[in-house]
Structure 1
Amino acid sequence: MSSDATTQSGTKPAQKWYPVEDDPQPKKVRKSIRPTKLRESLQPGAVLILLAGRFRGKRVVLLKHLSQGVLLVTGPFKINGVPLRRVNHRYVIATSARVDLSGIDEQTLEKVSAPDYFTKEKSKEKKTEEAFFQQGEKPEKKKVASSRAADQKAIDQALLANIKKEPFLGSYLATSFYLRKGDKPHEMRW
Structure 2
Amino acid sequence: MSVLESKWHEAQPAPVPRKTNKVAKAYKARESLVPGAVLILLAGRFRGKRVVLLKILEDNTLLVTGPFKLNGVPLRRVNASYVIGTSTKVNVSSVDVSKFNAAYFARDRSTESKISEEELFGDAKPAERKINDSRIADQKAVDAGLLSEIKKTPLLSQYLATPFSLKKGDRPHQLKF
Q: TM-score, normalised by structure 2?
A: 0.82
* Stretches of structure 2 lacking an aligned partner (at least 5 in a row): 7-15
**2-side partners of 1:179 and 1:52: how far apart?**
14
- CA drift of 1:179 comes to 0.4
Select 1:163's aligned residue among 150, 154, 157.
Answer: 150
**2-side partners of 1:94 and 1:101: how far apart?**
16
Select 1:140's aligned residue among 115, 118, 127.
Answer: 127
Matched, 1:102 2:93: yes
Between Structure 1 and Structure 2, how many residues are aligned?
163
Q: Which residue identity lines up with residue 132 of structure 1 in the other structure?
A: E
Q: Which residue identity lines up with residue 163 of structure 1 in the other structure?
A: I
**2-side partners of 1:32 and 1:92: how far apart?**
27
CA contact (8 A) 2:38 2:90 kept: yes
Tell me what 2:163 maps to.
176
Q: Which has the larger radius of gyration?
A: 1
Cα root mean square deviation, aligned: 2.5
Tell me what 1:35 maps to.
26
Task: Give secondary structure in 2 for the equivalent of 1:67.
Answer: coil
Q: Which residue identity lines up with residue 121 of structure 1 in the other structure?
A: D
Change (3 A) 1:154 1:29: farther
Matched, 1:121 2:121: no
Tell me what 1:47 maps to.
38
TM-superposition CA deviations, 1:75-96 (whole Å, max 9, x none) = 0011011111111111111111
- CA drift of 1:26 comes to 9.6
CA contact (8 A) 2:59 2:102 kept: no
Identity %: 55
CA contact (8 A) 2:40 2:83 kept: yes
Tell me what 1:85 maps to.
76
Select 1:185's aligned residue among 162, 165, 172.
Answer: 172
**1-side partners of 2:143 and 2:20: how far apart?**
44
Change (3 A) 1:30 1:124: same
Matched, 1:64 2:55: yes
**2-side partners of 1:161 and 1:118: how far apart?**
25
